[in-house]
A and B are shown apart, each in its own frame.
Chain A
């Protein structure tokens, strides 16, 4: 449904409605105007078009990355509705696939940790296996080189001649990848037609646990754990072990606005400067109080909220949050870089929309 580009000189919303549309206003006890104004016809009576406009979206939409490491990405996502931001958050947590241990075949376990507890623990270990190389395994499907990655864990604790213990701690680094598949095909029904070694030509990229130092069990001399762990591809909706993120979340951009001139040397001015250091400062030119960017002053914003209990502060200062400016953080479990996870989440959402359109 094409729509003409909005023309210059088109009616604009009055300021007070614009604030209600664009900002959540934070009061001392509750937040106001928390809804988003979505309906195309909301402002029709005022001649303001609120319908969807792709060109306008493209003009306004921005992604600004603040921090990017191998595990964490923090970025500002500006000019998008909460429906989309939340869809991405939900997909990141529950629908981007990874590979995790699903079946554990225990050959021998004389440690004090029970088989089922150990199996559950192994499931939660993040594995450095590129999910795109594998297919999800359907329940009735036989395990094969296309849908299963096999690891072996064989650790026995001994007392060394000097009296110290060897292997008293079983760490995730002991999980060793078996490129040719299960060593117990009769028991596990897992038979590889071909090995997986060609998928991982260089040693560094071979399947292993993301972290080498996760404690799986503790052993005493003579105790042993021998098992085979079969990892499959899945999504967080099925079990949290397949979630590629430690978590993914967003918050809204906070802003503090002065509603009237407040002399910096007045009682109120001094109170604001001392209660919220860094947030307010005197403007040398006018002698009035000026509100700095609220980003980076999150700790004092709650103190500002306390001041807003008094009506005279409510009239002078507003604490608001922009409804279309998300400060998004993605903490990857280490399986995939966070920017890649977001790209996959966008792809997943696009696939959902395309898939539905095709079925209609």
Chain B
């Protein structure tokens, strides 16, 4: 990971060893942030493990803060999905005693 600067309202983040999996998820949460004017990502080459994530904000937050917030959102969503999954599996096994333990 190398960000160009920490106090920019527009920045391109080069994230190494990541691909669509993380970049597209972050793009979703960044676009959902009202302080982000633009967000998109690209992969310069399919055989290079690198994504470039472009973030431009409206000026209330820095690009760095916006990406951090998106990471936080994604972390919370995964946490909630894990607990929901645990409940759903427990409920299914309760209702279906024949299900594998």
Binding site for B on A (CB under 8 A): 1, 38-41, 50-52, 54, 57-58, 61-65, 68-70, 75, 80-81, 83-84, 86-87, 90-91, 95, 337, 339, 342-343, 346-347, 349-350, 352-354, 356-357, 359-360
B43 close to chain A: CB less than 8 A: no
A342–B86 Cα distance when bound, in Å, is 10
The residue on A at minimum CB distance from B80 is A58
Across the A-B interface, how many residue pairs have beta carbons closer than 8 Å?
Answer: 132
Which residues from B are CB-within-8-Å of A350?
Answer: 74-75, 78-79, 82
B45 close to chain A: CB less than 8 A: no
Interface residue from A1, A62, A68 paired with B96 (Cβ < 8 Å) = A68
A38–B38 Cα distance when bound, in Å, is 12
For this complex, 27 residue pairs linking A to B, each with C-beta atoms less than 8 Å apart, are: A1-B33, A39-B31, A40-B32, A40-B34, A41-B34, A51-B33, A52-B29, A54-B73, A58-B80, A65-B88, A69-B100, A70-B100, A75-B88, A80-B81, A83-B28, A84-B25, A87-B24, A90-B19, A90-B20, A90-B21, A346-B78, A346-B81, A356-B1, A356-B26, A356-B71, A357-B68, A357-B75
Contact B85 A342 (CB under 8 A): yes
Which residues from A are CB-within-8-Å of B19?
Answer: 90
Known A1-B61, A39-B32; further 11 A-B contacts with Cβ < 8 A: A38-B32, A40-B31, A54-B77, A63-B87, A87-B20, A90-B19, A342-B85, A350-B74, A353-B78, A354-B75, A360-B64
Min C-beta distance of B79 to chain A, whole Å: 7
Contact A353 B75 (CB under 8 A): yes
B36 close to chain A: CB less than 8 A: yes
Max count, chain B CB within 10 A of own CB: residue among A81, A84, A87: A87
A269–B27 Cα distance when bound, in Å, is 45
A226–B3 Cα distance when bound, in Å, is 54
